[in-house]
Amino acid sequence: MVKYILIILLFLTGITAQSQEISNELMDQIENFIEEQDENIDLVNLLERLRILSQSKLNLNRVDADELRELRLLSEIQINDLLDHILIYGDLISLEELQSIPSFQLNDIIRLREFVQVNANDRFQMSLPQMLKESRHVAFVKWSRVLQDKKGYLPKDDGTTNYQGDENRVLIRYRNNFENRFRMGFILEKDSGEKYFSANDNLGVDYLSVHAFLKDYSKVLKDVAIGDFTVSLGQGLISHNSFGSGKGALTTQIIRGGRVIRPYSSVNENGFMRGIGATIRPYDNVEVSLFGSHVKRDGNIRTDTLENDEPDLLFSSLQLSGNHRTLSEIEDRKAIGITSIGGSIKYKRRRGHIAVNAVSHSFDRDLQRSPELYNKYRFAGESLTNISLDYNYRYKNFNIFGESAMALNQGQAHMVGLMIGLNRFLSAAIHYRNYAKDYNALLPNAFGETSSNNNENGIYFGLEWQLAKKWKLRTYADFWKHPWLRFTVNRPSTGMEFYTRLDFYLKRQLLIYTQFSHETKLNNYNVDGLATTQIGTQQRYKMRIHLANQFTKGFELRTRAEFSIFKNAIQTSKGFLIYQDFIFKSIASPLSFTSRFAYFDTDDFQSRIFAFENSVLYEFGIPAYFDQGIRYYINLRYRGIRNLTLELRYSKTHLTNRESFSSGNEFIDGDVRSEVKVQVRYGF
């Protein structure tokens, strides 16, 4: 009864106000990606690029399709229509001219206004000293810690602790940027539980990242990156670091894009390259990208001793957590050296491109995976080389794209997609993928059900329909099969997923949407009392109702209720989450805040529910709500001191069905977990 009363009260509170934030759909897409892939992805870089663009806007008359895709604000149909409009009628005179393009609605133009302009002057050949003189400098210092004692910090009988460092997390970040054309900066970070190292090792902290990036310096020199950078090739079959299109609220945005070389400025300690990369335009329609990198990665080291031979150090997998708190984690730190070289040759026209891509990785130790049967076709050895051909062609309301890749002496992977603008109100997307069971790549990030982009065949159908001026329907269906075993399935398997979302949007005043998803696939499970692993069908059902609205220009409310059901042969698990967000951001006030109060009740971890959380600048969270309890947080931001921004975040979770959190070294003896963060930002 309490649940239903809370629902009624929160929705009555939410409906009394009006409007939506720009990033609602992007937040939904990120939530879905985290839930499906459950791994670290480079989202901080995406948010940082958008923030820089809000200060130094893109010139719409000079951008190409890749740069427009990076915004994550327009559909492929809108991108095509915009480029065709400029090609036929010449440069845009003002942003209001976008209203003459059939696929653009007023709310699309409002969203774009913060990041683009049409009257910018290209300042090619501007000297680096002049860029530095006119650039903006920003420095961040952040401290955070969980207030309760975790088991890893408590002394054992011999007086030692499992975690070698203290509870404090410390981050120092510096960035210098001129418009969106020149960037340089560094990051120093020590995670909770990590110790300080010697001064000659990353200046004493666990993680050090440095980058410098020059964009569009001249008509010939497009990009140069020195230090830490990322490489995005084709549709992601051999390498793609940026947050890409996937299954979620943006049902027809299934194409990857963006520049090949990008600077890296994230605290995620994996997935980047360290060295130098560049893109040049030797001819108007030709781009050549080259890069070289050597970086140390964490890896699970093991010793292989053969008869009459000396021990040989191997590694069984790369470690992706980035944590170096315990002795075993420290032992795996920077254990594997990876040298990577590669490049791309792209021929571009206004309506599309074709490109040849290649990348080769060499390890300084031999990779030998565990002998489980699901690893039979996974890569093992000291080097891995991939090549691919990717293409994209736009004609009127049709856009066909794809990529074919192969790993030398191993398998192949192919994908092809089609996006169609059936009319100004209706667009569709179709995507077919065939990733062989013996295809392997080190840093893939292509469209699919799994993140490894192998052992998978599937077809996807997406639809977006503007039913009326204020109503939009989005839906997709995805069907796939895995020809070989997987880590969680001891036989070849199949799966399917359906998604539907209905939006009601009232200009800048009100967004209400409801969405439903259903996924069915095979998975392993164990029955109590039986030693053998069983295989059976598991199903997930999720339903969400969401409101985003605003009392005034500076005060916004967001309300959400979400339900989750998980079923397999031995259990049915149900979950429920409802939260209310309060957001105050007034231009007239130096103080702003965001806050949430959430109530959740799930049977177990299987019925968990993910939800995006605001945090301090350049940080966010997407925790999994499970068990039973309440959670709340408040973020305070003060800008009343010249060039200085002060931020404070406090969050607390209180469980009502158990008296402890987590397990192992993260175990907390108590039903409360709270965290505090403080960040100071100085810009000049």
The Cα 613–Cα 621 span in angstroms is: 5
Amino acid sitting at position 437: K
Mean pLDDT (whole number) for 145-168: 94
The Cα 376–Cα 440 span in angstroms is: 12
Q: For 262, what's the count of Cα atoms within 13 Å in the CB-facing half-sphere?
A: 26
Tens of pLDDT along 297-321?
Answer: 999 887 765 555 555 668 888 888 8
pLDDT of residue 530: 64
Q: Which of 237, 256, 232 is nearest to 246 (CA)?
A: 256
Yes or no: say if 176 and 132 are a contact pair by the CB < 8 Å rule: yes
Yes or no: say if 524 and 496 are a contact pair by the CB < 8 Å rule: no
With a cut of 90, say whether residue 145 has pLDDT above it. Answer: yes
Contacts of 18 (CB under 8 A, 6+ apart): 506, 509, 510, 549, 550, 551
Tens of pLDDT along 395-447?
Answer: 888 899 999 999 998 899 999 999 998 888 899 999 999 999 999 999 899 99
Tens of pLDDT along 329-379?
Answer: 998 999 999 999 999 999 998 888 999 999 999 999 999 988 899 999 999
Q: For 193, what's the count of Cα atoms within 13 Å in the CB-facing half-sphere?
A: 20
Q: Is the pTM of this model over 0.85?
A: yes
Yes or no: say if 322 and 299 are a contact pair by the CB < 8 Å rule: no
Where are any strands of DSSP class E within 424-509? 426-435, 456-468, 471-482, 493-506
